[in-house]
Structure 1
Amino acid sequence: MTIDVLMPALSPTMEEGTLAKWHVKKGDAVKSGDVIAEIETDKATMEVEAVDEGTVEEILIPEGSEGVKVNTPIARLSGDDASAAKPAPAPEAPKAEATKAEAPKAEPAKGEPPPAASAEAPKAAAPTPAPARVAGARIFASPLARRIAEQKGLDLAQIEGSGPHGRIIKRDVEGAAPRAKAAPVAAAAPAGAPRPVQTLAQMGIPDGSYDLVPLDGMLKTVARRMTDSFRDVPHFPLNIDLEIDQLLAARVKINGLLEKQGVKVSVNDLVIKAAALALKQVPEANASYSPEGIAMHHHADIAIAVALEHGLITPIIRQAETKGLAQIALEAKDLAERARNKKLKPEEFQGGTFSISNLGMFGIKSFASIINEPQGAILSVGAGEKRPVVRGDQLAIATVMSVTLTCDHRVVDGAIGARWLAAFKALIEDPITMIV
């Protein structure tokens, strides 16, 4: 008995990944728990452990293959242990397939076929409509059948499988003809459906006038998630200016104290700490929308945006309100380094209750970010610069930093957002209050 090793879903949002490397080859013995491959998801590179035991019979997907869908067979094991894993279906599967394969051959030789055979013959010969499938249900098909279907442009959801338990096999797709294009269906799509994607040539940009950089898994995921968020979440921004001269002076003193420990606190680390404390002072802002109700989070798990060569990722500092500045600085540096090397674990970048995106180091004065669902808000931090300010009736010069709080109006309305910004402003402009 053989058993397929399937492409695992390494995160709740993973739909496909890149099979970066195999740690086994054909003929190798595999035990449960052995690392057999490395998979690159849209956010990280992770090791895959074997669940079953046996011998590697075949590598179905070569290393380096991109866009491998979740639950696609990537390898096949054989052996006594693999046989024991699924004892019941093993003897029946070949018989079921053999019976269906032999039935058409035996039918012409007999003048009067048995009633059961004659009843089944029209079903096999006539091109009847494909059975209705539940939307989103998994389609069972052999790897070879999937490859042939992809080459011929066939929709597996419209093909009836003749293999064991309705599995689509080679002969089901070899004789099938590509179905009509889905253009009429798209034209009849219900209101509110996504508009058809146009090519650049259709929009007036001729082929050959540009270089095309293929989308990797991360870019596809970021594009989809940001589109979904901007379309489905009611965004609105709140802007405020902060005077940060005292914050900068405090940072110099803090780094002087931490110099012997080899720790250096950045302005962003101070912003993270202040944001976490403000979320505890205004807990209504530390919330997420769900169809069941508003989730009020117990801790401030702050996600920090880290720019990669191609894409963006938001590793999370958990329970930031409980941590000192030195610990936040060390964690932020470690998470950013491992994020750029795609070495983060899923639990290190999934979730979070609040995000911070800082473009101040690029000289950006002010901007608004797209909310990272399911979080209720994201803070956009601009550059600190010398600006004229009015104190009483006098004109003065201060270092001012503009920030924008983008809110999900279903969770954080204008009043809640304004109260959070007031708490945040007080902490930033008088940083000693962060430790009182």
Structure 2
Amino acid sequence: MTQPYAFDTLQIHAGAKPDLATGARQVPIYQTTAYVFRDADHAARLFNLEEVGYIYSRLTNPTVQALAERVAALEGGAGAVCCSSGHAAQIMALFPLMGPGRNIIASTRLYGGTITQFSQTIKRFGWSAKFVDFDDTAALEAAVDDDTRAIFCESISNPGGYITDLPAVAAMAKKVGLPLIVDNTLATPWLCRPIEHGATLVVHSATKYLTGNGTVTGGVVVDSGNFDWSASGKFPSLSDPEPAYHGLAFHKALGPMAFTFHSIAVGLRDLGMTMNPQGAHYTLCGIETLSLRMERHVANARRIAEWLEADPRVEFVTYAGLPSSPWHGRVARVCPKGAGALFTFAVKGGYAACVKLVDHLKLFSHVANLGDTRSLIIHSASTTHRQLTEAQQIAAGAAPNVVRVSIGIEAAEDLIADLDQALDAATA
């Protein structure tokens, strides 16, 4: 199911149809490991990728596939693959593109765990990352070399809520012939559709707003279907014959679906970072109300950010939805329905005041998560970004005097009252 249906219709119906066996209207949880083949020829055709179907739930599962189709429809992509977490989705996105000695260019404004994954963990694969300020497109282009295989950024960054100038970055990526990968977790496709701005791949942590209720870990990679994987010779996994499939060349044989099929047939087959069907079911249910929730998230975030900015106990607020933000001008172009619901603010009194603040809040939960219906807070410098140096923390928007808030869908006046009393305690 694709357009002309509106977003609110697609978030309920895309990827879903009444179950053929029972007529069940909601997508069933297909809690099964394997699937019976019709006959030996059917099995052979499935294993040769000559026919689409189900073999083994590490590869494909009807519940998980319904979720993949729904997210792809919402993002305007050709196909998608679901996996076990947002971090898994990032590795899945890079896996067909990279090889020993290859590198990616990544934004300096990324979630701390992503910075660690890219600066440390991927070295074990022989990959590397160069971190660049994506506001400086000249420096971004200068960082590209013969071994660069992808450009990576977040549409709205965690933790500061910085908005990337996706059209400018996409134009540069197109100029140098490289795929642009955009983490769209914080924006969701309701606020931003990176493919429309020129992104090649979109990744999500489904753990966050897509599910929306703090019950699931999961990830999704959406392929635009627009990139020519054969043009440069830099992506042999997709352009060259694959020995494990009798010399099948994925891009030549599958065109816009090459990346998606490779991610399932090779990526999930060998890496095994599979989403479980129950988790996919929870995310499908969550997506049904995505636009309604995001509208409330954004309205609450704007109101609370305005209140915090006017408070003398607060040094600054990073919310891009505020006219004072240096990124405010990008909201209308990149995220026309709003600047999201995640931002940071600095508390007068520094590190110690931040610790007191989180310890005195009653409605806000101090957790290492975001995108919940509940409002959440964390002091990034002592938790999610503590593995970084102070200079790296500041560059990532997680300085010691800063807390990150994920604004939920509660009554805004109750959230403001909770922050008010906690700020009193923190700055007394």
With normalisation by structure 2, the TM-score equals 0.25
Larger Rg: 1
Larger fraction in helix? 2
Larger fraction in strand? 1
With normalisation by structure 1, the TM-score equals 0.25
Between 1 and 2, higher relative CO (CA 8 Å, sep ≥ 6) is seen in 2
